[in-house]
């Protein structure tokens, strides 16, 4: 399409993670500490391999609303999987389309070895949207 931006150009490289065996109360504290709405779930030993994602919505709908104990519930029981991921060379438009089509707000970014190297969110894309509009306008002016 119009933009030549890739996921790797705007992804967040410091991904907040939780171990698959963590309890949900620990995950909630991690989210609060970092002021975020989700964490990527990784294996305890190979913390580079993403296994799932837990969002605030997961905790509210799957645990609290059902009266389950977040202190006894493990991440593995609640995380959303399979995890949809993108590569850093994925076009930004393709990532945005994947989010829309799958009704998700975040996509973990993995390298060719399927190791977690970043994350991209709807918010990341919206922050650069004005720049994309500028690019479109500049190209349109050049093509006149």
Position 118 in a domain: yes
For the domain that residue 71 is a member of, what is the CATH number?
3.10.580.10
What is the residue-wise DSSP string for 13-63? SS--EEETT-BHHHHHHHHHHHT-SEEEEE-SS-TTSEEEEEEHHHHIIII
Q: Which domain holds residue 59?
A: 7-142
In a domain, 2, yes or no: no
15 with 116: CB under 8 angstroms?
A: yes
Residues 6+ apart with CB under 8 A from 2: 132, 135, 136, 139
Give the predicted TM-score (pTM) of the model: 0.81
50-55 and 106-110 as β-strands: parallel, antiparallel, unpaired? unpaired
Residue 140 scores a pLDDT above 80? no
pLDDT at residue 3, rounded to an integer: 56
- Express each pLDDT in 97-135 by its tens digit: 899 999 999 999 999 988 999 999 988 888 877 666 666
Structural domain includes residue 46:
yes
- pLDDT for 131 equals 65
| Total number of domains constituting the chain | 1
Per-residue pLDDT tens over the stretch 24-52? 999 999 999 999 999 999 987 766 888 99
């Amino acid at each position: 399409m119009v933009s030549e931006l890739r996921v790797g150009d705007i992804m967040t490289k410091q991904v907040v993670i939780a171990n698959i065996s963590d309890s949900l109360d620990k995950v909630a504290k991690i989210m609060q500490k970092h002021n975020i709405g989700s964490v990527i779930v990784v294996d305890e030993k190979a913390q580079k391999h993403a296994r799932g994602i837990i969002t605030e919505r997961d905790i509210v709908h799957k645990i609290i609303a059902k009266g389950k104990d977040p202190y006894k519930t493990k991440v593995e029981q609640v995380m959303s999987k399979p995890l949809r991921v993108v590569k850093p060379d994925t076009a930004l438009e393709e990532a945005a389309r994947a989010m829309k089509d799958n009704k998700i707000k975040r996509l973990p970014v993995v390298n060719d070895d399927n190791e977690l190297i970043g994350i991209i969110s709807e918010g990341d894309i919206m922050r650069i949207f004005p720049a994309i509009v500028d690019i479109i306008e500049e190209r349109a002016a050049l093509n006149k």
